[in-house]
Structure 1
């Protein structure tokens, strides 16, 4: 098992500083949702106030198909961010995922990733989070169960970040045999396992392999948002190493493409669209492309660092935008939105 200490915590703190300061090279890759254009309905024959954007996730009713995606891990300043997220999500009735729990597990201290979050958000789904590479570093079902129990989560994300690990000087390079280890963890846990990328996308073929193995929650986390190779480059002192990492700033499967292809390959899976989701209109497009929920992370860091009220204001605006899209496409609810007429993109 990896050893605890300052290195992982300092790295998480550096990551947060880079994202907050937008110091990384900005990707030219889009999320792909600009290709989806809804056909406006000039006579929707609906009452806007009656449009229903609620749905269910992990056995709980949520007010909108929106997930606050994993943002933070080990640093002390992440405690306030996670508490702000928990308070806001409880007030809004939407789920959230915590950042990597590796440091909390190895240090034996929760670092703000404990039952206090469940106390602040008793009614909404919460997802824990561990990196896949850790299961080649001594982790197994025991550590995964600890991640679940330290918060009382409804599911556990296992995140896939091979590009980030490949360019990171201290990255975990051995990814051999991880599929079977992830499946073994999923079979051992009392809550569902969800797999997610961190910004380069999950292909349809890999998603199908996971679904066939019993892991049915797929967060595609495609390109068009935060690129972790570029984030790693921004914290490197060695210019040649930074150049290698920055060469991958536009790497990955665009989020819209990943959603469409994963949905086609896995019709019964729960598909989460994340990666460059910036507005309620993007959420609507993600739903139309085949997602069940849309996740947002980096675009919220400043609001999450500020206060619960800042997050609530952001998501209330996104929910209003989503409801207006439904209204202006003649969609009374999310089921109708999934078949709303569009000019380009996935067609029925």
Structure 2
């Protein structure tokens, strides 16, 4: 199966099958923003704008990498990009590997920049591919969409389950370090299994500009592979995908693990403006989501805009009820962490009380 065929198959499965985390959520239920009964501000004065990697966004939100690499994805990426341009938020493209293998697929990625000339757009390629294509290959991908940043995705869980997967992860960090010599900021993103403090330290030392935690709680690519395996009657791959469906670090604790080291994009199970507010309060710079916009994008730009506008309205309400009139204040809002998430982060050496008792502090300390 070609990469292009696999991309459209992945998109169709995400649109029609239950592919989200089953047993473990992102951790948002364990997070409570402390309510301010006297917010002493006007909700109409709330400023959602942020600076991220040198670009200004109208809100701390991006459309996460979804698709590209097949002619059928062109109208979808066009709708997504048009909505991002209209709302002044960022957007990432799906893996550009298909365009390297088949230049005729480049239009499915170029359409994003065509429809979003003023938007923060980031490119996307797998860690396994940068070892193969090197700096020159990545530069070509950046030029393809005039990217403001380049994301290197880590999807070794999915690779381990795919029959056609690349199971050789050796040398990935060295390849990332080499790519970080480019002038374009490099984002390293997980695709559903989260990033730990240990790996965040390695990535910071390698020169990475930001981390997209891509935690457990959203789309499970192991789950997607279950459906693919079932269709081709591959019992072993189906069993592997089912076993590792929820493997990894949920989004919320992964934010805590990484945000003291690098700017964080919080992806994985973000489904409301309240989720976005919690991510920011926990330390992320911006949030992003992909799956909620697949179906709207198949209908058109207006439906995508409506979906995202709802999230941003919800974010404003959350900020109003926390007495935060801008994102900087939200980052230091008192936040109570409970349950499994509290147990996890404290076992990992973080102090949950630092979040609950802060007022003007914007950072937390490791115990």
Same-fold call, TM cutoff 0.5: yes
| Residue in structure 1 matched with residue 196 of structure 2 by the alignment | 203
2:74 aligned with 1:79 = yes
Answer whether contact 1:79 1:111 (CA < 8 A) is retained: no
1:26–1:34 distance in 2 versus 1, CA, 3 Å: closer
Distance across 1 between alignment mates of 2:186 and 2:216? 22
Matches within 5 A, 1:1-348: 7-24=2-19, 26-136=21-131, 138-187=132-181, 189-236=182-229, 237-264=233-260, 266=261, 269-344=262-337, 346=352, 347=355, 348=358
Q: Report deviation, 1:190.
A: 2.6
Q: Report deviation, 1:73.
A: 2.8
Q: Report deviation, 1:194.
A: 0.5
Answer whether contact 1:27 1:250 (CA < 8 A) is retained: yes
Q: Report deviation, 1:24.
A: 4.2
Distance across 2 between alignment mates of 1:98 and 1:109? 16
Distance across 2 between alignment mates of 1:133 and 1:123? 30
| Residue in structure 2 matched with residue 3 of structure 1 by the alignment | none
1:289–1:234 distance in 2 versus 1, CA, 3 Å: same
Answer whether contact 1:25 1:246 (CA < 8 A) is retained: no
Distance across 2 between alignment mates of 1:179 and 1:113? 29
Distance across 2 between alignment mates of 1:27 and 1:300? 20
Indicate the SS of the match to 1:41: coil
Distance across 1 between alignment mates of 2:42 and 2:257? 33
Distance across 1 between alignment mates of 2:305 and 2:84? 8
Structure 2 gap segments, 5+ residues each:
339-351, 359-367
Distance across 2 between alignment mates of 1:298 and 1:100? 15
Between 68-77 and 217-226, report the one with greater CA deviation: 68-77
Distance across 1 between alignment mates of 2:19 and 2:108? 27
Indicate the SS of the match to 1:343: strand
Aligned length: 338
If the length of structure 2 is used for normalisation, what is the TM-score?
A: 0.89
Answer whether contact 2:31 2:336 (CA < 8 A) is retained: yes
**Residues 160-186 of structure 1: per-residue CA shift (max 9 Å, x gap):** 000000000000111111100111012
Distance across 1 between alignment mates of 2:278 and 2:33? 8
Q: Report deviation, 1:304.
A: 1.5
1:25–1:70 distance in 2 versus 1, CA, 3 Å: closer
Structure 1 gap segments, 5+ residues each:
1-5
Answer whether contact 2:93 2:112 (CA < 8 A) is retained: no
RMSD: 1.4
Distance across 1 between alignment mates of 2:21 and 2:130? 31
